[in-house]
Structure 1
């Protein structure tokens, strides 16, 4: 994989992408392969760093959403993941089947069933007895329904990100790790990025996918987004009967809906004998740069209670705790939009812990936005101005 260290005053690209997490890497891939653009993909750290939201061995992919616009996106995302896997000769998706387990009286259950029926997504409904019989590692009593999707699976997260980056370079893209942007000078025909090392990157168009750093970068460009960065505890639980929770035995991905938050689990794969089972929420932090300055166990006690009630063959306390960060919007939907003044600048932010699976389509949408091309997707749920009628403050200077 070709990499360059930093930029220079002579660097000029059709499009620069700030942030080489999964969304930025997917955008650089789509721009280079499908749009024929000369792309630079920049990151302030190394390409394989663990400071953001895209690192690690596994993520979930699924059709199981109550919102039609997400399922529409996943109908395109699955074949795009297959395209990337074939082009890069990597195994990126392992289908395990999976289910959302929801209270019978939860309105989200009816909405999910209606969406799956409307879009003709193959699925089945499981009673508590069905769940307990099919998956003896789980235990559910009356009042629950499992919505089973055979296409649910596990994405090899690090491999996915690396595949996007390597395929980008095959189509002429440049990877610029360790290139921290400290200044952005926008213009309608060109954008200049000033780097910490004193170099500059010139581009005609710019995409910002900076994860938990997005809020500050966009604010310096006059775009105020209500983004919150949360520190997430990633938990691994020792199984007394590992075979009940293994992918080889047919154990699925599952998402337990509590009404207030979700817990999600993946078949044993990353660590021998340990099930990945995590809260889908965390504690807000002031800065992603200070993620690990304190030890916080937000969400872990809730998962422990879930384990005691619903996972009879797991230990009650996690064996391993790791951390990552979510960048969260008030409605938990991401922002995919263009700058209100500088139409050659697009941005994606606030994926709220469920954007990884959507990455190929996010890359397509952001590419279409920054190139001013039409999109077939329903983008109203992702507009920046859904939060406030005035989200641009022109008096602010575009300096970082």
Structure 2
């Protein structure tokens, strides 16, 4: 058994259509992603040339309706995220930012003209999007943003800086959030607009096969039609973040599953003191504890998917999933590295790469501390972070 989720027969409980989608994404990951991940991770490169292949696979905005999007269930989207992150968090991040942040913000809050212009190309992977909310001094507190949009006749002029933006330096379009006299509003910004620039963040120890960038808006002039007409206030970008966090709930399980599978295979073949290390009690305890933890995380993810497909999911419930599953996944990846011994520090084996990636996942789309306080507020009615 190399899939720890098989212990509880979890895959067998999934609907056939969703299992087929999961299997299709798993084959794509095996054929197109896993062969190159060691090189991409070591060189710090995201294979942008694969974007049309992600589009052909149908995972870009797959849970959205129309405009070339598949309209798949939340469960199908979650299972796709699981398989992508089992290969590497960078791939799930790309799909998540493209579909759940950039595309979702246009799909949910954009005009018909904005949707028709961008969504079909983004769904096909012909145009890449990014989501400009976080700033150098405002991450967990996006309401303090300094980026401003000022009216100038019928135009808008944007000035400010965004930071830690996935896809930022390769994006064709950015949805940028800025403070206006009317409150926080969103704008669709083609990245070839004069005054817009992006710089990739280098020397990363985590998410190396993913693009992270700083965006600078210096007098970026946009027509009035660039504003997202239905997005008013901070609740709009936060709703987009909930879409992305849902994918993380499943993605973290993928990283955990892959780590356990790698450690299990190694333990069965690595011999010490005359027998495979899988035969030692301490190793079996590690494997058993991690498999129970991964199974619990998967059951939580499936429960949240059912709530999301029913249209009843709440933000604090997604916070429970993100907090628990990422926390458990990073602990699993680190424990798996110990089973691998010295071999575990090389890129030949995946657990330490997953652990390094999950350090970023633990922080982005809401830190574990903030999600803890979101849950605390839901329980007590008191907002401790205000």
For this structure pair, what is the TM-score category when the shorter chain's length is used for normalisation?
under 0.3
**TM-score (structure 2 length as normaliser):** 0.27
**TM-score (structure 1 length as normaliser):** 0.26
Q: Which has the higher strand share?
A: 1
Higher relative contact order (CA 8 A, sep 6+): 1
Q: Which has the higher helix share?
A: 2
